Amino acid sequence: MEADYVIVGAGSAGCAMAYRLGEAGESVLVIEHGGSDAGPFIQMPAALSYPMNMKRYDWGLESEPEPHLGGRRLVVPRGKVIGGSSSINGMVYVRGHAMDFDHWRDSGADGWGYADVLPYYRRMETWHDGGHGGDSYWRGTDGPLHVSRGPRENPLFEAFVAAGKQAGYEATDDYNGQKQEGFGPMEQTVWNGRRWSAANAYLRPALKRANVGLTRALARRVVIEEGRAVGVEVKRGGRIEVIRARREVILAASSINSPKILMHSGIGPAAHLAEHGIEVLADRPGVGGNLQDHLEVYMQMASKQPITLYKHWNLVSKALIGAQWLFFKRGMGASNQFESAAFIRSKAGIAYPDIQYHFLPIAVRYDGKVAAEGHGFQAHVGPMRSKSRGRVSLKSSDPDAAPKIVFNYMSHPEDWEEWRRCVRLTREIFAQDAFAPFVKHEIQPGADVQSDDEIDGFVREHAESAYHPCGTCKMGRADDPDAVVDPQGRVIGVGGLRVADSSIFPRITNGNLNAPSIMVGEKMADHVLGRDPIAPSNDQPWVHPDWETAQR
């Protein structure tokens, strides 16, 4: 078993790289521990709460007890299936804000500013506005990744946007276009009624080429000889073997597993590796550090009118929706039901949005257990740029063992202030006239939760991960002691080895991480191939003219 390029992980970035390297005629072998993504639980968009909670498709990881969240352990779903987490996620498509990428560039990731990444977003997309307006100039027209919008037929989707405008916020036709800030339609990686994962968009077409292969195995460590990566040690069918890479090994195994594999390979914080008896080949203290995520709470309202998805929360209705989807790929089953969104700034003096909303016309938990009493709706809300940082480290020297994950959520005092603003601003939106026909009362947090201490207590008890871990193999300049890879994804201090997934993000982006992860795979493929990157774009994104003095 050998190839020019061995990619570890058939997730969002790995699939995109396999497609682009294969298209260029290179020989590529992708290693994926998980199995097939066939079947309705993954392919049917409305069934999104199932695969995330199925051992068959998920690595089953959880955090250590989080010291600032009352010692709760939070689940950390990561896709163990072809398509990776793009096969089990909520299918929400957000590029990130232009200023996120300018921050990457300014912190040492040269060539990763917004002007540099926008052409790759255009290259990867085929955008369908569904007749809902939007900004086609900023979007892609012929990429492998289909991006669409839900039908937005439920009146609550419009009420959410109308309430935002009544509260004095901006509206946006397309948060992935020139203007992220504001209230508007949400986008999803759904095409022809199916989840359009990285497996459907990139891996299946790539595997039609004779020069691209896929093997099912567990990657244990990178084999390094004389300072250069030459292959990957894997466990397959109970046997340990080595898959050789003639040119490069590319880790695209997630922000949890990529640093874990690096550490088992002798690349990481020297003292930590020595504790576990691992020979240190490159002392990179940043491996596993800089761990970031988004937290969110569900602000839930009881509904006066029986128009929410709760009416479908019974076996008969679910069976009908499932049958309609199975035979026609249409109906309720063909959307993730996140069809309205917003990005707002939490106070004056913040240049671009730091709060994100997903609006859902049912009050329910992510794991599919109804939390609400009958008809209700909810906004998933949380701050975008927490200053808290965590770490992924090793629990043992056994590569089969799960790593130790400490997010250290809410460890920075400013996080609590942001959260209080978040809860209060959300209540103000639900109090607008547009929601008057629909809001009966507040289910969660509940009208009695008002003081700073009460809101803090609610967040400590109820905040959940939005499942956006990143940052653990930070991209930066070679002289930055905390950087793990350079701006071309090359692991600093080791030849023939790159990382290309969400672990290289210097800082978390605004919104969901699937789109920027795929973009990283697209752009890194050009670096691997030694091509000049696509010419930068001169397009200027919208920034609120009064951001210094006004919150909205």
**Two structure tokens written together for 368:** 């599919």
Nearest to 108 by CA among 469, 517, 507: 507
Torsion of CA 510, 107, 351, 187, to 10 degrees: -20
| Cβ-contact 22, 209 below 8 angstroms | yes
**Beta-strand pair 391-393/212-216:** unpaired
Q: Is 89 annotated as a binding residue?
A: yes
CA distance linking residue 207 with residue 18, whole number of Å: 9
| Cβ-contact 424, 416 below 8 angstroms | no
Number of H helices, E strands in the chain: 13, 25
Torsions phi, psi of 100, nearest 5? -60, -45
Q: Which residues, 6 or more positions from 271, have their beta carbon under 8 angstroms from its beta carbon?
A: none
**Two structure tokens written together for 168:** 């004095």
Q: Is 468 a catalytic residue?
A: yes
Torsions phi, psi of 267, nearest 5? -120, 115
Torsions phi, psi of 292, nearest 5? -130, 160
How many other C-beta atoms lie within 10 A of the C-beta of residue 123?
A: 18
**Diameter of the chain measured on Cα atoms:** 70
CA distance linking residue 521 with residue 145, whole number of Å: 13
CA distance linking residue 542 with residue 399, whole number of Å: 46
Q: Is 92 annotated as a binding residue?
A: yes
> Looking at this protein, which amino acid is placed at residue 297?
V
CA distance linking residue 33 with residue 217, whole number of Å: 5
How many other C-beta atoms lie within 10 A of the C-beta of residue 545?
A: 8
Nearest to 489 by CA among 520, 513, 514: 520
Q: What is the 8-class DSSP label of residue 390?
A: B
| Cβ-contact 293, 465 below 8 angstroms | yes
**Two structure tokens written together for 182:** 């504001």
Torsions phi, psi of 402, nearest 5? -70, 150
**Beta-strand pair 125-127/439-444:** unpaired
> Looking at this protein, which amino acid is placed at residue 276?
H
| Cβ-contact 341, 175 below 8 angstroms | yes
The three-class DSSP label of residue 515 is helix
**Two structure tokens written together for 87:** 């096969």
Q: Is 91 annotated as a binding residue?
A: yes
CA distance linking residue 269 with residue 293, whole number of Å: 22
Torsion of CA 85, 86, 90, 95, to 10 degrees: 110
Q: Which of 294, 358, 468, 544 is catalytic?
A: 468
| Cβ-contact 158, 62 below 8 angstroms | no
Point out the residues that are catalytic.
Answer: 468
Return binding residues. Answer: 81, 89-92
Return binding residues for FAD. Answer: 81, 89-92
